[in-house]
Amino acid sequence: MLEVSIFVSYVILSIALGLTFVRLVIGPSLPDRVVALEMIATLTVGFIAVYTLSSGVTAFLDVAMVLALTAFLAAVGFARLITKGGGVHHD
C-alpha cells in the first residue's frame, strides 16, 4: 500500500518538477522564474518527505528544514533585486 503511494507520489512530484521547470525556462520575467525556483524548493521538500518515508531514515528531514529556510532567503534576495530595478527591464 505505502510502497505504491510512495511510487505514485514520486511520479506526481517528478511531473510537477517538470512543469515547474518549464515555467523556470520560459519566464518570461525574472519574478516568474523566482517563483518557479521557490516551487522547486518546495518540491524538493516534498521529495525529501517521500524519500524519508521510503527509506525509513529520518535524518534527511534536516535537509528539508534548511531548504525551507534558504529558499525563502533566496526569494527575499531576488525580491530585493527586483525592487531595486535590477533584472526586469534590461534582463
- Within 3-22, the residues that bind another protein by CB under 8 A are 4-22
Here's the x/- map for another protein, 24-63, by CB under 8 A: it reads as xx-x-xxxxxxxxxxxxxxxxxxxxxxxxxxxxxxxxxxx
Q: How far apart are CB 48 and another protein at their closest, in Å?
A: 6
Q: How far apart are CA 41 and CA 37, in angstroms?
A: 6
CB-based contacts of 43, cutoff 8 Å, min separation 6: 13, 16, 17, 20
CB-based contacts of 53, cutoff 8 Å, min separation 6: 2, 6
Q: How far apart are CB 3 and another protein at their closest, in Å?
A: 9
Q: How far apart are CB 73 and another protein at their closest, in Å?
A: 5
Tell me, by CB under 8 A, how many residues bind another protein: 88
